[in-house]
Structure 1
Amino acid sequence: MHALIIDDFENFRSTLYKMLMDLGIGNVDSAASGEEALRYCKARCYDLILCDNNLGKGKSGQQVLEELRSTDNPCADSLFILVSAESSKSIIMAAYDYEPDAYLAKPITPKALDQRLNRLFEQRLELKEVLAAQKAGEDEQAITLCNKLIAQGSRYTNSCQKILGQLYLQQHNLSAAEELYRTVLDNRELEWAQLGMVKTKLAQQDLLGAQQWLENILQSNPLCMKAYDLQAELFKLQHNTEGLQDILQKATDLSPLSILRQQELGVVAQQNNDLLTAANALKRAVKLGEHSCFDKPDVHSLFAQATIDLFSMDKELAKPLIRDAIASANNLEDKFGKNNLRKAQSLLLESQLQICAGDQRRAQDALVNAQSVLGNTKDDSALPVQIEMVRALRLLGRNNDAQKCLADLLEHYAADEQQLQKLDVLLDEPRSEKNKLMVAEINKKGIAHYNAKDFSAAADAFKIALQKLPNHVGLRLNYVQALIDKLKTQFNPALSERIQQTFTKTSAIISPQHPQFQRYRQLNDVYNSLVRAFEKQRG
């Protein structure tokens, strides 16, 4: 057997080395950092990995685990024991969330280690053939072996049933999966079987059934992070972005060290125009991504963009984020590799952020450098950066240059439906046929809800379209009108704040010459009168 010890303290590595030798594991390697450990893991397969969570500078033990489990390497299936002397809630939740094979608290005694390893190796040996078949993609063989062990009364029957349920779901054999989970739950309320039932119900499109199972799980265990993830999947299927944001917020509050949830919260909150939540979640995601295999350039640029958008809504709320957003934009090339498009994107984001920071000179210098790097590039891969160029020119007050740049892009891509869809994000009326059709359908649906006085459903319909077309003035005014009529039925401060934010955004994209400017003014007057009436009533 081969084992790997990962710890930044030499004394602890030596202590564990002796313990493993005394237990009969004769081949033991040691690494002082996560990066060194991953190099070992790319070179050979270890039966056992003992990893401290706090490894000093660089990757944490959790980040080592997530990389081993999510990338192609010889140790993807190694037994992984996370070791920690820390007792903070966030560390414990993260350890629980990432699902190592075991978790040991320091100090470790030889007896405790021996007992834990005996159980793990005994189970691994019993399930060896099942796991091998599963890894090889031989699902039917794995199913046969699982059923054989269950029939023999294996002490690891629960583990076999858990694997069996996963295999049935992979095969989309939903009736077999449901029967299995019900059989298990009839005997004992095991959380993994309840979660399996949720997955089955989601696959069957039984959303109400899935919701009922989720409520049961979270009532008995409010810390079950997998239940929050499945609740998020349910909200996605229902196109409920507000519910999705709410459940992601709860999950990240419970387990704040999960980079994937922070990333998703940031994206969803930005779609919901909750820019403060978006910027803060993306800021945390950028920090968590410093040594994570899940770090992505899009998250860094989204953080910068969310901060810029927040600044246009509320300068004071954006101020604490600007410095970190500039650093994030500047680090794009160092983190993800140098190329002209990335450099231009980095400079354009910096230009906009320097305007937010009040440094006009640096903003102008960054824009000039970006224009020099980008040149006259017109290939499709450059379009996202050219869209960023239009945004930067607008923010710097160079509206004529922005309009000329946008007109050139529209002319160049006039016959390219796919690229026009991307350019629609800058326009107050879409040019692509797909988005024109979407606006017509959404308006029809939203107006029908509005006429039926279902103002919430009307607002939701318009909001979905605005996520794709944030500068569409007509949709934005339809959305705010539905919200105002909802506010008339019962004044709600949170709803009032959402309306105010929508007006702030609209004021930045509408001119007095716009055909809908008069409507914008009228709706603004109606909203302000409602606010005054509420404040007067409140005394």
Structure 2
Amino acid sequence: AEQLLQAKTRYRNRVMQILGDLYLKRNAPDQARAIYEQVLAERELAWGRMGMGRAALAEGQLDEAISHFQTLIESNPDYIEAYDALADAYQRKGNGKRAQEVIQQAIEISPLAILRQKQLADIAATNQDMETAAQAWRSTVKLSDNSIHDSPDNYLGLGRTLSELSDGDTSSEGKQLAEEALKALKDMGRRFKDDETATTRKQLVAARIYAGQNRMNDSHKALESIRDQLDTDTLTPEEALDYARTLYTQGDSGAGQRVLNQLADRYSDDPAIMKAIEELMDEPVSFRKKNQARALNKDGIKAFESGELGQAADAFKQALTLVPQHPALNLNLVQVLLKNAEQQGKTSDPALLQRCERCLDQLGHLPPQHKQYKRYQFLMKKVADLKAGSNA
């Protein structure tokens, strides 16, 4: 391609486009950028603007990449790849809600794209927008039927999401969602009957659906039917996470924590898996309770920063009724109570330190790999020192 450019070919633009792509594939974004800058200096071309965005993305220049993709979408609203790249940039920046909005815009233009529907389902679930996730999974299952994209993951994704939506909801609507979830799993079992791994995962999700509808006998039967396949030393990370989730839903939090701790020991050097373990360990509850607890945590932090220690403590205590073993929430409450004790000095209420100890006792399961572990150790020592000082 470089030789053709030097020879001044009449296909110069096409050669430059190919060359830019090749530089990006070879992880040479600076050289790709030089090509695209040269193109755009002469005139605005969609592929040149797209290339500039991709080069910026490869260099980690997220704001610049977002600007290029937005410019391209404004001038070429049907340039669908720009939406995908823009969503990717927002996700890398940690703005999942904006990424979801962009993917939804792309789906309005191209609603039959299976992989984009699947991407929307994943992003929406991460954003705790389970209604959107469920609808995207429904579309994914329908569109992938009899195609190369048909996969157990599609049915499992729908089943998991509907399980979240129906969890604890025994109204007619909740029961309907649970039945839809069970039907999706039944369809998966019929289509992939020779896939043993899919069968194991199907039963794990089914057990959660039953538990969420308070059908505990059915839940335990579903789990018992695959007990022989549940060797925590050999389960894949996704299977182990599903297993732990199911144990939590059945009320066996101790067993759920043990599964996660074993998984953490096996994958301590894998950041993505460790993040998933921590998220489940911190919030082993339905998405509705997660959202309530997160909102209360934000209120507590805001009150603490404003010096309103009483309001902060109340918010953290309320959040802990939803997720009693949440590390950050327990440690946030400990920090507030310690601040209160420090302000009161020698006249501080002994009950403050006792409550701190109860919060710390909730975190005895915390593995050393957890991001809150060092903070846990620091506050545990601080409480112990204060207690020793008050007893002196």
TM over 0.5: yes
1:471 paired with 2:284, answer yes
Corresponding position of 1:176: 31
Q: How does 1:488-503 map to 2 (within 5 A)?
A: none
Q: How does 1:146-157 map to 2 (within 5 A)?
A: 146-147=4-5, 151-154=8-11, 157=12
1:480 paired with 2:296, answer yes
Maintained 8 Å contact 1:330/1:350:
no
- Structure 2: distance between partners of 1:236 and 1:331: 33
Corresponding position of 1:285: 140
- Structure 2: distance between partners of 1:297 and 1:304: 11
Maintained 8 Å contact 1:330/1:347:
no
Corresponding position of 1:327: 183
Corresponding position of 1:58: none
Corresponding position of 1:375: 228
Corresponding position of 1:233: 88
Aligned AA (1:470): E
Shift of 1:470: 2.7
Maintained 8 Å contact 2:70/2:86:
no
What is the root-mean-square deviation of aligned Cα atoms in Å? 4.5
Aligned AA (1:298): D
Aligned AA (1:192): W
Q: 1:222–1:504: structure 2 CA closer, same or farther, 3 Å change rule?
A: farther
- Structure 2: distance between partners of 1:167 and 1:206: 20
For structure 2, the 5+ residue unaligned runs are 304-316, 334-392
1:164 paired with 2:19, answer yes
Q: 1:485–1:185: structure 2 CA closer, same or farther, 3 Å change rule?
A: same
Q: 1:420–1:341: structure 2 CA closer, same or farther, 3 Å change rule?
A: farther
Corresponding position of 1:196: 51
Shift of 1:379: 4.6
User: Normalized against structure 2, the TM-score is what?
Assistant: 0.64
Q: 1:186–1:308: structure 2 CA closer, same or farther, 3 Å change rule?
A: same
Corresponding position of 1:221: 76
Cα deviations by residue, 1:218-249 (Å, 9 ceiling, x for unpaired): 21122221111111121122122222222222
User: Which residue, 242, 247, 256 being the options, matches 1:406?
Assistant: 256
Q: 1:153–1:420: structure 2 CA closer, same or farther, 3 Å change rule?
A: closer
1:349 paired with 2:162, answer no
Maintained 8 Å contact 2:245/2:256:
no
Shift of 1:209: 2.1
Aligned AA (1:348): L
- Structure 1: distance between partners of 2:130 and 2:83: 23
Cα deviations by residue, 1:292-344 (Å, 9 ceiling, x for unpaired): 32344333222211111112376666555444422321233444452444323
Shift of 1:365: 4.4
For structure 1, the 5+ residue unaligned runs are 1-141, 426-433, 440-464, 488-502, 520-539
Q: How does 1:32-431 map to 2 (within 5 A)?
A: 142-144=1-3, 146-147=4-5, 151-154=8-11, 157-312=12-167, 321-336=177-192, 338-354=194-210, 360=215, 364-365=217-218, 367-375=220-228, 377-382=230-235, 384-385=238-239, 387-389=241-243, 391-392=245-246, 395=249, 398-399=250-251, 402-403=252-253, 405-406=255-256, 409=259, 413=262, 417-418=265-266
Q: How does 1:429-444 map to 2 (within 5 A)?
A: none
Identity %: 22
Maintained 8 Å contact 1:341/1:382:
no
Shift of 1:370: 3.9
Cα deviations by residue, 1:482-521 (Å, 9 ceiling, x for unpaired): 157779xxxxxxxxxxxxxxx999766549xxx96xx7xx
Q: 1:359–1:331: structure 2 CA closer, same or farther, 3 Å change rule?
A: farther
Maintained 8 Å contact 2:204/2:243:
yes
Q: 1:254–1:376: structure 2 CA closer, same or farther, 3 Å change rule?
A: closer
Shift of 1:192: 1.1
Shift of 1:284: 1.5
Cα deviations by residue, 1:63-121 (Å, 9 ceiling, x for unpaired): xxxxxxxxxxxxxxxxxxxxxxxxxxxxxxxxxxxxxxxxxxxxxxxxxxxxxxxxxxx
- Structure 1: distance between partners of 2:18 and 2:183: 45
More helix by share: 2
Count of residues paired in the alignment? 316
Shift of 1:353: 3.0
